Copies of this chain bind each other. A is one copy, B any other.
Amino acid sequence: MSSASKASTAPSSQALPRSRFEMVEVTARLCQRLGMPKSTGQIYGLLFLSVHPLSLEEIAEALGLSKASASTGTRHLIGWHAIRQVWKPGDRKDYYEVQADLGDVLRANYLGFFKPKLDAASRKLVVLQELLDADLQSGAIQNEEHTVGRERLQSIARMHSRIQKVLPFAEKLL
């Protein structure tokens, strides 16, 4: 336990330096814009400018979050390979620090998240083509609708394959 213990819901008992505070805000907004919880972004920003790994409770207190939020947030970030857990010998707490190499983060997310989505999209595209054919067979759509639909789905497919051609390049360069 620390000596000072007055703040309850306040951001922290000891305010963050402005650079740290601003960083937390930036990453929070970024996360929010990406459709992710704001608190998760705050955690990343806090850890990003932290010299030492921080424990769950330190994170929660510094940001004025509950332990629960800190726990879910850190696990999200770990899932995206943005931070990682570290342990100190003789200490049962979990500590967290940012993954230093941003290139690794992007690569890992490409391989573990984006790439699978692309493949799934590819399969879905095939399914849609089949549904379109089936609708033609059953008379649910006319010939013209079938033709136009097929054409548009193929334009997605072309774009899709072009993206798959480009991404591995980008992956290497980052």
A contact set with B: CB distance below 8 Å: 17-20, 22-23, 26, 33-35, 48-49, 51, 98, 100-103, 106, 124, 127-128, 131-132, 134-135, 140-141, 144-145, 148-149, 152, 155-156, 159, 162-163, 165-166, 169-170, 173-174
**Minimum C-beta distance from A136 to chain B (A):** 9
Are the CB atoms of A19 and B174 closer together than 8 Å? no
Contact (A19, B135) CB under 8 Å given A170-B170, A173-B166: yes
- Contact across chains for B102 and A48 when beta carbons are under 8 A apart: no
User: Mostly helix, strand, loop or mixed at chain A's interface?
Assistant: helix
Partner of A17, one of B34, B48, B140, B152: B140
CA separation between A149 and B52, bound complex, in Å?
Answer: 12
Query: CB distance A49 to B145 under 8 Å?
Result: yes
Which one, B35, B98, B132, B174, contacts A159 given CB within 8 A? B174
Given A34-B35, A162-B174; A51-B18 close (CB under 8 Å): no
The docked-state distance in angstroms from the alpha carbon of A43 to that of B102 is: 36
Contact of A19 among B33, B49, B98, B134 (CB under 8 A): B134
